[in-house]
Amino acid sequence: MNKILILAEAKENTFKSNAFEAVTAGKHIAEALGTGFDVIAITDASDEQLKSLGKYGAAKVYHLNLSELNSKGPAGIKYSHSAIASAAANFANTKGYDIIIISGTSFGKEIAPMISVKTDSAIITDCTGYNAADGKISLKRPSFAGKCNTKVNYLSGKAVITLRPNVFKAEAAEAACEVEEITPDSVNISASDFKTCVTDVVVSSGKLDVAEADIIVSGGRGLRNPESFKLVEDLAEVLGAATGASRAVVDAGWRPHGEQVGQTGKTVSPSLYVACGISGAIQHLAGMSSSKFIVAINKDKDAPIFQVADYGIVGDVFEILPAMTEEIKKLKV
Amino acid sequence: MKIEVCVSLVPDSTTKVKVGASGKSIDEAGVTYIINPYDEFAVEEAVQLKEKNGGEVTAISVGTDRSKEAIKKAYQMGADKGILVKSDSADIDSFTVAKNLAAVIKEINPDIIFFGKQSIDYDGSIVTGMTAEILGLPYVNVVTKLELNGNEATAEREIEGGKEVVKTSLPAVFGAQKGLNNPRYPNLKSIMASKSKPIEEKPFANERKTEVAEMSLPESKGQGKIFTDGVSNVPELVRLLREEAKVI
Ligand SMILES: Cc1cc2nc3c(=O)[nH]c(=O)nc-3n(C[C@H](O)[C@H](O)[C@H](O)COP(=O)(O)OP(=O)(O)OC[C@H]3O[C@@H](n4cnc5c(N)ncnc54)[C@H](O)[C@@H]3O)c2cc1C
Ligand SMILES: Cc1cc2nc3c(=O)[nH]c(=O)nc-3n(C[C@H](O)[C@H](O)[C@H](O)COP(=O)(O)OP(=O)(O)OC[C@H]3O[C@@H](n4cnc5c(N)ncnc54)[C@H](O)[C@@H]3O)c2cc1C
């Protein structure tokens, strides 16, 4: 019982940290339950890429070629969430997995509910922790925009679990990794599984997205005008960070919506979040309070952002940002 | 066109969350409830579609009597009919909600169904996809743009660093994200009219697969190191980030 399957997501045929995090989390959960785990990857990634999952302890990777899968659907598509969900769910049903672990990226969030229905499993999303006892796990997940934590149990024997990205650490654990190829036919895929088809992926800019960044420098209304976001961008550049924004400046049209962090924007958990001229409204905190370290720069010592900050300077962003950029540049030479 | 929109009632986002006596739900004292903000985008899209193509918009909610408020809000924005699948308790899981919604939707057999991309209370992002899958319908979540051409639909969906263009065919389910439209403010007349508009009630069936074992407030971080000397503190801050936090 308690057989675990991890769905490793590859982006443009390359596994990113979220896939390694899922493998590590799955490995720990398997150990805690005294069971094993397998990985499924639906991608055109190279054999070498697939084997890289072994560096995090994956001993067995089932691989379904994405282009082979796509050949069962309409011509000219990039991928189909519904077909990928069908393939993963049919595979899990045939092999009898009880727990399916998926990273809660935009891709993972889209397919997880479909997989849970197809495998007749409970679903618990956005998990930040787990607890194993008596051969069962319960999951910890934030709710009410991070204002409280909830422990959720699943009642049926089976569960689909999505993990909040950037929360579980990927840990090196060398395993001899065996890759076994599977075919679309072996998982019963037909044209009717292609209910939705992604025909194009448009990258909004070449820039790093807040949802994927390890460091984020965000600016708010304290920057006063769109031009002074240059100061935020300069600091982000020396840190190799993504730039984020509060809703106030997104609504004002100073920054694109893709940069918005918070309840109606993106939820992020980077290692370092630098909030510049952001007051720290509850809806903003909802999107970033699970960051590992938070730095606040605000001229108002009573701004709520200081209550969640690990470090902060009460002062003027127009002085502090350039000084930080210079100071960090010194480290890099 | 038969258009369906699923709406839920959630605590206002400024609510101070306190854990209730059971330790498994929030203390409801003093909480103000609103329609889930993403559901407003869903209702707006449904009503715009009706205004363009004719037809009827039905708003559905699963919950206690209180959830009628969400349906009334949909009425104010232009929905024609409302259905409450009425449960005695607010403690219901996503699968139960999806199952009950699917049962009602199946009866109505609509051309298109709108949801919000996620509820702002439990932030599940589950119900939309589950309901669609139970019905065997295609679904696209986090939709910021939708174009219909006969039975063909092209949706734009927000992803990390960009968007996906997704093609599907109706009937289909869409989860609305901010940016899809600008929800209208109801006028006084529609607010008044919504008060007396009937809401049909349907029986509820509990089919839960999860339970909340415990709710707790996050451990407070303890006081951070906050410096008050402005720019002169920058070298110390950078040193701490490097040596103590080890993040740069
Ligand atoms: C339903 C709902 C959803 C929402 N969703 C989001 C969301 O997703 N994300 C989000 O961010 N907000 C969201 N909001 C809005 C939120 O309530 C706040 O209005 C918003 O976050 C404020 O943005 P801000 O901090 O940039 O601006 P302000 O609150 O105006 O704060 C500006 C800060 O800059 C400081 N400042 C000014 N000048 C300087 C200077 N020279 N140097 C240093 N500091 C300076 C000020 O002291 C102040 O603290 C939402 C609101 C609602 C009702
Ligand atoms: C603290 C806490 C944590 C929970 N965690 C889980 C969990 O991990 N797994 C789980 O299965 N359940 C969980 N539940 C129960 C679940 O959240 C509720 O059933 C809730 O009704 C659905 O919320 P959601 O966040 O999943 O909705 P979402 O899936 O985020 O909602 C998406 C859309 O579905 C529609 N919708 C949602 N609810 C309704 C409704 N009642 N009526 C009509 N339309 C609706 C709306 O259009 C909404 O925009 C939890 C409950 C609590 C109290």
* Strands of B101-149, DSSP E: 112-116, 139-149
For B8-63, the pLDDT digits (tens) are 999 988 878 888 888 888 888 889 999 999 999 999 999 999 999 999 999 999 99
Residues of chain B short of pLDDT 50, as ranges, are none
Which residues in A14-47 are b (16+ Cβ under 10 Å) and which e?
ebbebbbbbbbbbbbbbeebeeebbbbbbbbbee
- C-alpha span between B124 and A122 (Å, rounded): 12
Secondary structure of residue A109 in the 3-state scheme: helix
Secondary structure of residue B167 in the 3-state scheme: strand
Of B134, B142, B227, the CB nearest to A314: B227
CA angle B16, B17, B22 (to 5 degrees): 145
Nearest CA to ligand 2 atom 32: B118
Dig out the tokens for A231 from the structure. Answer: 């100061």
**Residue B126 CB–ligand 2 contact under 6 Å:** yes
Contact B88, B65 (CB under 8 A): no
Residue A156 has what DSSP assignment? Answer: S
**Domain boundaries of chain A, sorted by first residue:** 4-193, 215-332
Of A106, A306, A331, the CB nearest to B226: A306
* Cis peptide bond prior to B171, omega within 30° of 0: yes
Q: Please, which residues 105-144 of chain B have a Cβ atom closer than 8 Å to chain A?
A: 120-130, 132-134, 137-142
DSSP A175-216: ---EEEEE-TGGGT--GGG-SSEEEEEEES-SSPPGGG-SEE
Which chain B residues are closer than 8 Å to A109 by Cβ? 125, 141
The reply to whether domains A4-193 and A215-332 share a CATH topology is: yes
Report CA(B123)–ligand 2 centroid distance (Å).
Answer: 7
**In the structure, what pLDDT confidence band is assigned to residue A148 with cuts at 50, 70 and 90?**
confident
A169 touches chain B (CB under 8 A): no
- C-alpha span between B74 and A184 (Å, rounded): 43
Q: What's the pTM value of the predicted model, to 2 decimals? A: 0.89
Residue labelled with tokens 């101070």: B16
Report CA(B240)–ligand 1 centroid distance (Å).
Answer: 26
CA angle A93, B92, B76 (to 5 degrees): 115
Mean pLDDT of chain A: 94
Look at phi and psi of residue A14 and say left if phi exceeds 0, alpha if psi is from -120 to 50, else beta: beta
- A287 to chain B, closest Cα gap in Å: 12
**Domain boundaries of chain B, sorted by first residue:** 2-203
Pick A4-193's CATH classification: 3.40.50.720, 3.40.50.620, 3.40.640.10, 1.10.3720.10.
3.40.50.620
Fold of A215-332: Rossmann fold (3.40.50)
More confident residue, A62 or B217: A62
Mean pLDDT of A25-45: 95
Residue labelled with tokens 């059971």: B22
Complex ipTM: 0.92
For A288-332, the pLDDT digits (tens) are 998 999 999 999 999 999 999 999 999 999 999 999 999 999 987
**Residue B37 CB–ligand 2 contact under 6 Å:** no
Report CA(A18)–ligand 2 centroid distance (Å).
Answer: 25
Of B11, B137, B231, the CB nearest to A315: B231
Mean pLDDT of A247-276: 94
For A186-216, the pLDDT digits (tens) are 999 999 999 999 999 998 766 788 988 999 9
> Which of A8-11's residues contact partners 24+ apart within 8 Å by CB, and which partners?
A8/A39, A8/A40, A8/A41, A8/A53, A8/A58, A8/A61, A9/A43, A9/A102, A9/A103, A9/A105, A9/A107, A9/A108, A10/A41, A10/A43, A10/A45, A10/A49
Contact A141, A128 (CB under 8 A): yes
Residue A273, C-beta contacts closer than 8 angstroms, at least 6 positions apart: A215, A216, A218, A244, A288, A291, A293, A294, A295
Check residue A145 and give its pLDDT: 78
Domain B2-203: assigned CATH number: 3.40.50.620
B198 touches chain A (CB under 8 A): no
Residue A224 phi, psi (nearest 5): 70, -35
Least distant ligand from the CA of B124: 2
